[in-house]
């Protein structure tokens, strides 16, 4: 079942300042039929806590309990069961 037109996947690791700017930019678009999925690669920064500050149900945190090579974090995106018609991968910067 499709729930949103677009899923936006953002892989991140210890780049909280850039990530917040990226999310703000996405949220300020005129098109609003999307969900944002943050694939955190075991950052030492409080990514999930900061995402909660947005108070937006379209933002989803997908964490990891161990750091992995960047390519492995991208593989998590490839395997994730998005429920949208389209998928785009943004970078946190």
Please write the tens of the pLDDT for every residue from 43-93: 999 999 999 999 999 999 999 999 999 999 999 999 999 999 999 999 988
pLDDT band at 1 (very low <50, low <70, confident <90, very high): low
26 Cα distance to chain centroid: 11
DSSP-derived letter for residue 24 is: H
Place of tokens 């161990």: 66
- Quote the pTM value: 0.94
48 against 2, higher pLDDT:
48
- Phi then psi for 78, rounded to 5 degrees? -60, -35
């Amino acid at each position: 079942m499709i729930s949103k037109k677009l899923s936006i996947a953002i892989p991140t690791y210890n780049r909280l300042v850039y990530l917040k700017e990226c999310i703000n930019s996405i949220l300020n678009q005129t098109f609003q039929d999307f969900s944002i999925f943050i694939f955190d690669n075991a950052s030492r920064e409080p990514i999930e806590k900061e995402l909660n500050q947005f108070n937006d149900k379209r933002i989803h945190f997908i964490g990891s309990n161990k750091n992995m090579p960047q390519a492995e974090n991208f593989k998590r995106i490839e395997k994730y069961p998005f429920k949208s018609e389209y998928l785009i991968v943004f970078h946190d910067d």
